[in-house]
A and B are shown apart, each in its own frame.
Chain A
Amino acid sequence: MSDLLSLLSTPKEATAFIHHHMGNFTIGQGLFSVNADELIMSWLMGGIVLFVAWRVGKRLSLDRPGRLQSVLETVVEFVNNQAKALYPKADPLIGPLALTIFVWVIVMNVMDIVPVDLVPTIAQVVGLAFGVAEPHHIMFRAVPTAGLAVPTALALSIFGLTLLYGIRAKGVLGYLKGYLSHPFGIWLAPFNIAITIVEEIAKPLSLSLRLFGNMFAGDLVFILIALLGFSWFALPIQAGIGFLWTAFETLIILIQAFIFMLLSVVYLALASDAESSH
């Protein structure tokens, strides 16, 4: 208990604080280590959505949708409209895929505007209660999308799907021919190969790094605001900046989720477009 009190009352030391919030809670050693904090938070946030969806789905109403049902319907319809606009062919996977990306990324991003100390402190308290480690050694990243693993996992999944869709649309040979003949025609095949490979790799890379960079930076700014430290004099300024940044981040959260969804569908649409040489 005294440890806990000392934890709450210790003055914040900048390096340790940042390390503490941005470092990962890792389990395992070396190649087999996993970032448990990212897994827990991503499962938790996705699970909450699924739980709500399950609760709502048990009593769907045609005539008198409840409030939650209306909200979910709005989201699903929005995603469906976007997906249909960008991917005109009927595909059983595109809709649910876009919906999953959009909703899951939003709810993971939402952890960004939860007070920075809340989740790590809970993690420390839990860690202390179960005697896992000293509170000062427990690091916890509350925003899964501010780590590299989740955005990269999403981007790589999309990349894999673009390969599958491309091969499905054009056949293996047709797909490989795209590397030879695009964008300069077959006579400049070596350049084409280099350029197309860079292009293909740039897609998932930019997709994941965009989300990661935005959320990491946003989280970092919150941490820096928290590091202004407590004093009666600075409190209004700190609260004001915090409020402004929260408002800004609320936009970023939605926009990044939207962009991620949109680009995923666009990449899949490009890949499955048999006419295009991509």
Chain B
Amino acid sequence: MSIGLTLLVEIITFALFVYAFKKLLWKPLMGVMDARQARIAEGLAASDRGMEALQKAEAKSDDALREARDQARDILAAANQQAVQLVEQARETARTEGDRIVERAKAEVDREVQAARESLRRDVGRLAVQGAERILKREIDSKAHAQMLDQLAAEI
């Protein structure tokens, strides 16, 4: 009994089996597993990318919000300032207008007083002359004493 031929046949069988196992078992399954691994890696990478994009978008929206808030605050401040300015301006205008009116009224009154005083003086002069005429009667020549009377009137 010799195992030589059996050995040889089994070696050939082994070689054929290695080929067949590679073809039927190793390659297809490794292919599937590699493909699955690639798909998982791809999915993870995609999720990472999505996460990153989300973060970026969040940061961007935060920025936009902050900017809008800042802008709103600026606008509000400017409006307030403008309002204050307007009120101030209006107040100023009103004050100057009022002052002017008062000024004008004062001038008017002064002028009136002046005029009244003038007419009063004239009246007093005339009355004094009339009074003196009546007291003195003819003794006084209106023509001779006109200069003196005028002087008197101016002194009052």
CB distance from A241 to the nearest CB of B (A): 32
Out of A34, A97, A100, which one reaches B9, CB within 8 Å? A34
Task: Give the interface SS of chain A, mostly helix, strand, loop or mixed.
Answer: helix
Whether A31 contacts B6 by the Cβ 8 Å rule is: no
* Chain A CB within 10 Å, residue with most, of B11, B17, B39: B17
Q: Does B80 contact A (CB under 8 A)?
A: no
> Least Cβ distance of A117 to chain B in Å?
23
Residue in contact with A34 in the complex, picked from B5, B25, B26, B28, CB distance below 8 Å? B5
Q: In the complex the two chains form, is A24's CB within 8 Å of B9's CB?
A: no
Contact among B1, B7, B13 for A152, CB-based, below 8 A: B7
Contact B6 A156 (CB under 8 A): no
Could you tell me how many residues of chain A have their Cβ less than 8 Å away from some Cβ of chain B?
46
| Chain B 116-152 interface 0/1 with A at a Cβ cutoff of 8 Å (1 = within) | 0000000000000000000000000000000000000
Give the complex CA separation of A33 and B6 in angstroms: 8
- A232 interface contact, C-beta 8 A: no
Per DSSP, chain B at the interface is: helix
Q: Does B30 contact A (CB under 8 A)?
A: yes
Contact A60-B9, Cβ < 8 Å, known A31-B4, A50-B20, A154-B14: no
**Judging by beta carbons under 8 Å apart, are B7 and A76 in contact?**
no
New A-B contacts (7) at CB < 8 Å, excluding given A60-B32, A96-B19, A149-B10: A32-B5, A34-B5, A39-B9, A53-B25, A93-B18, A95-B22, A96-B25
Q: List 8 A-B contacts (CB under 8 A).
A: A33-B5, A38-B6, A43-B13, A46-B17, A57-B25, A60-B28, A96-B18, A152-B7
On B, residues with C-beta under 8 Å from A are 1-11, 13-15, 17-22, 24-26, 28-33, 35-36, 39
